[in-house]
Structure 1
Amino acid sequence: MEKFQLTPFLDVNGIGSASGLVHYQDSLFIISDNSGFLYEYRLGAQDTLQHTLVSGPAQNIEKKRKPDLESITLKDNKLYIFGSGATENRNRHFIFDPRTQEVSEKSLENLYRKVKTMAGISDDDLNIEGALFYKDSLYLFQRGNGANSQNGIVAIDHYNEEEGCNDGMPIRFVPVSLPKIGHVEATFTDAVLVAGKIYFLAAAEDSVSTYEDGEVLGSLVGCMDAVSFEVDFTIQITNTIKFEGLTPFGQSETGIIFLLCEDNDTEALESRIYKLEIPKPAPGRD
Structure 2
Amino acid sequence: MKKYLLTSWLKITGIVAASGIGYENNQLQLVSDNSNALYHYFITNDSLAKYSFDDNPVNDQMKKKTKYDLESFTKIDNTWYAFGSGSTENRNIGFMFNKFSKYSTKIDLTDLYSEMKSFSDLGDDDFNIETVTTYKEDWLFINRGNGAKNANYIFVVQGKNLTDEYNMYYFEFDLPKINDVASGFSDGTVINNTLYFIATAEDEQSTYNDGAIKGSLFGAIDLKKMKILFTEKISDTNKFEGITILEQNKKNIVFVLCEDNDDALNKETVIYKLAVDLKGKIK
TM class by smaller structure? over 0.9
Aligned to 2:171: 174
C-alpha separation in 1, matches of 2:49 and 2:176: 38
User: Which residue in the other structure is 1:20 paired with?
Assistant: 20
- Runs of 5+ unmatched residues, structure 1: none
Question: Among 235, 239, 248, which residue is 2:232 paired with?
Answer: 235
Compute the displacement of 1:269 (Å): 1.2
- Supply the distance in 1 between the matched residues of 2:82 and 2:250 (Cα, whole angstroms): 32
Cα distance between partner residues in 2 of 1:91 and 1:56: 20
Change (3 A) 1:181 1:36: same
Question: How far off its partner does 1:170 sit?
Answer: 2.2
How high is the TM-score relative to the length of structure 1?
0.94
Alignment of 1:44-193 (within 5 A): 44-54=44-54, 55-158=56-159, 160=160, 163-166=161-164, 169-193=166-190
Q: Which amino acid aligns with 2:273?
A: K
Report the secondary structure of 2:95's partner residue. strand
Following TM superposition, by how much is the alpha carbon of 1:265 offset from its aligned partner in structure 2, in angstroms?
Answer: 1.0
Deviation at 1:149, TM superposition (A): 1.2
Report the counterpart of residue 194 of structure 1 in structure 2: 191
Q: 1:254, 1:280 within 8 Å by CA — same for their partners in 2? A: yes
Q: 1:208 aligns with which of 205, 209, 217?
A: 205
SS at match of 1:170: strand
Distance apart, 1:56 and its partner CA: 4.0
Distance 2:186 2:108 in 1: 22
Q: Which amino acid aligns with 2:153?
A: G
Q: Secondary structure at the match of 2:124?
A: coil
1:270 aligned partner = 268
1:253-273: per-residue Cα shift (whole Å, max 9, x none)?
741000000101121211000
CA contact (8 A) 2:240 2:257 kept: yes
For 2:225 and 2:158, locate their aligned partners in 1 and report how far apart those are by CA, in whole Å: 14
Q: Cα distance 1:136–1:195, how it changes in 2: closer, same or farther (>3 A)?
A: closer
Query: Cα distance, 1:177 vs. partner?
Result: 0.6
Structure 1 residues 253 and 226: CA distance shift in structure 2, 3 A: closer
Q: Whole-Å Cα distance in 1 between the matches of residues 37 and 30 of structure 2?
A: 9
Corresponding letter in the other structure for 2:172: P
- Determine if contact 1:152/1:177 at 8 Å carries over to the other structure: no
Q: Aligned equivalents of 1:225 and 1:254: distance in 2? A: 17
* Cα 1:242–1:185 shift into 2, 3 Å: same
Instruction: Name whichever of 25-34 and 238-247 sits farther off.
Output: 25-34
Say if 1:154 and 1:281 are closer, same or farther in 2 by CA, change over 3 A: farther
Q: Distance in 2 between matches of 1:271 and 1:228?
A: 36
Query: SS of the counterpart of 1:111?
Result: helix
| Correspondence for 1:5 | 5
Q: Compute the displacement of 1:197 (Å).
A: 1.2
Shift in Å, 1:114:
0.5
Do 1:72 and 1:80's aligned partners in 2 also have CA atoms closer than 8 Å? Answer: yes
> 1:73: Cα distance to partner?
0.7
Quote the offset at 1:252 in angstroms: 5.7
Aligned mates of 1:155, 1:253 — CA distance in 2: 27
Deviations 1:123-172 (A, max 9, x none): 122100001111221101100101221111011123x3xx4232x52211
Contact kept in structure 1, 2:40 and 2:48, CA below 8 Å: yes
Which amino acid in 2 is paired with 1:130? T
Unaligned stretches of 5+ in structure 2? none
User: Once superposed, what is the RMSD of the aligned Cα atoms?
Assistant: 1.5
User: TM-score, normalized by length of structure 2?
Assistant: 0.95
